[in-house]
Amino acid sequence: MTTPISASETPAAEAPAVGSTAPRRSGGEARVIGVSGNVVTIETDAPLMKNEVALVHVGGEALKSEVLRIYGKTADMQVFEETGGVQVGDRVELTKELLPAALGPGLLGSVFDGLQNPLNVLAERDGFFLRRGSSAPALPGEDVWDFRPSVQVGDTVRGGDVLGTVPERNIAHKIMAPFDLTGTAEVLWVARGPQRADAPVVRVRTARGREREWTMQHSWPVRSPLPTKLLRQRHSERLFPSQVLTTTIRLIDTFFPIALGGTACIPGPFGAGKTVLQGLVSRYSAADIVVVVACGERAGEVVETLVDFAEMDDPRSDGKLMDRTVVICNTSSMPVAAREASIYMGITIGEYYRQMGLNVLLIADSTSRWAQAMRETSGRLEEIPGEEAFPAYLDSSIKGLYERAGVVRANDGVVGSLTMIGTVSPAGGNFEEPVTQSTLGAVKCFLGLSSARAYKRFYPAIDPLMSWSRYLDQLKPQLAATMDPTWTESVKETTELLHRGDAVHQMMQVTGEEGVTVDDYLDYQRATFVDMVFLQQDAFDPVDVTIPLERQKESFQLIRRLVTRDFQFTSNDEVRNYFTKLTGLFKNLNYSEWRSARYRELLAEIDALEAQAVSQK
């Protein structure tokens, strides 16, 4: 199988640039003067830099760390490993580089930890129990890729320009000029054909007259949005999200749509179906690449995801779902600081594929445990706590995270998107806690899971009465063109029907069916019918598990017709009998192949039942 080649600069006489892959140069040494959990305080005469990577040497092990706070000649660092055995006086090596993500072909199908160490390599080398301080290259240099250049000698390139492509699984992986390239560079030499990952594929002369060689992979600091420099140089352009991310889940696509390049959150209590819902969205949504960040999820659930993704057929290709997936795996049993870094690692990888003009879906599970990692580190730093002891900057950190999603037109004019869906695990399903509230202020789609619906086996357990999407109006032009001119208004009217039905249901809890009028009971049955046949979806049925937009449109229009008819029933029994029969027919319709003979037969039975009810007026 083929693997990495690099796309970054290797100047000989300069310190490596931000996005380069030059060999790491030592930035001096420091010594440990204090230890508090995973936070280590150091002292040095060498220059320090915030977010700089440092290595704490203890017992022959080098523990990767990151500088968080600097004051004079001392600094606080978070260590991405357990700090047992670290003592005052231990040597610390400063690297003068920011925490990087290795970017290049070979990422797809990989499973990394929060620092982008390939877990399969560590398991083969060290066994299934991760050894402290163990690391491995994310993209090994021995693999060979078939480089197909798109530039030639004499061309002028800028940062982010496409130099060529290599086939990576089911995509054409674009090899781009380093994103931090200042000004322009002239191409002096170009390779062609099979090349080692660590071999130069392009030689250029920069505007300053220096010759440099670029390979097919490069690194980028994970805490800096990848396209920032391009936007300043006006090479790339950030666009307004205007297209729907099709998930094939009726409740989401119709009632609470997510924009391609938008943001959404899925908060819910334990057992409400967050992981299953994520898996369905990952498998069936209209995304070219899926990045799954398990930033603190339980190990058992992560293993289940890995097994399922490796075995599931990809509905968008002939391969497996894992062929277009990157997994960042930092479970709740792994070091807390690496959990905090893992989500930035996943976003950086997602931004990289977005820059190629691909639609990337990033699933973060769960941001609550990422926030808990920040809370623990903040406590070790003795910072002034905010609500529930979370750091005071929790809100801005969450907003900064989701702001990295979006739609971008790259240098070559191709448009790519990064859609971010984060799950939140509030204790006891309390949506008023700080992480959930800060997330709601950052996203534009809220898919709240309900333990009550999950208990009744109403899946997906998204509560339609408390969920919302600000994209419904934003996407109105596309929905009007592809679905129906009055689509948005119809959805809002149906949502109002659900609220009226719930109000009647609450009344019936006190008075019983006999205590409500026929008109009120009719509203209740209409709302229940919509819930049973449209909002609920059977993930175990091969037909109902994924519904294309055209079928969703047809089903919703039929439902709208059925629930807006002016029936004149004379008793609650008549209403109940009618909607019981109608619900049974419609559920069988959902399980039938679209427009098959059985599907048409059931449509005819629904029409006949409707006509019979109308004739009784």
Name the H helices within 117-233.
119-126, 228-232
269 is in an annotated binding site: yes
Q: Are 533 and 585 in contact (CB under 8 A)?
A: no
- Work out whether the CA dihedral 293, 294, 300, 301 comes out positive or negative: negative
Report whether 268 belongs to an annotated binding site: yes
DSSP secondary structure code for residue 313 in this structure: B
Nearest partner of 114 among 327, 265, 305, 418, judged by Cα: 327
CA angle centred on 401, ends 399 and 402, rounded to 5°: 70
Q: Is 275 annotated as a binding residue?
A: yes
Tokens of 551: 């079928």
Backbone φ and ψ of 218, nearest 5°: -150, 175
Helix (H) or strand (E) holding 400, with range, is helix 394-402
> Beta strands 289-295 and 325-330: pairing type?
parallel
Is 84 a known ligand-binding residue?
A: no
Largest CA distance in the chain: 91
Angle at which helix 367-380 crosses helix 394-402, to 10 degrees, equals: 140
d(C-alpha 437, C-alpha 439), whole Å:
5
Q: What are phi and psi of 610, to 5 degrees?
A: -65, -45
Q: Determine whether the annotation assigns residue 127 to a binding site.
A: no
Instruction: Tell me: is residue 270 an annotated ligand-binding position.
Output: yes
Radius of gyration for the chain, computed over Cα atoms and rounded to the nearest angstrom: 27
- Measured between alpha carbons, how far is 231 from 251 in angstroms, rounded to an integer? 36
Taking the CB of residue 487, how many other CB atoms lie within 10 A of it? Answer: 21
Residue 611 is labelled as binding a ligand: no
Q: How far is CA 455 from the centre of its chain?
A: 27
Is 71:102 a contact under the CB 8 Å cutoff?
Answer: no
Assign 456 to helix, strand or coil. Answer: coil
**Binding residue ranges:** 268-275
Binding residues for ATP: 268-275
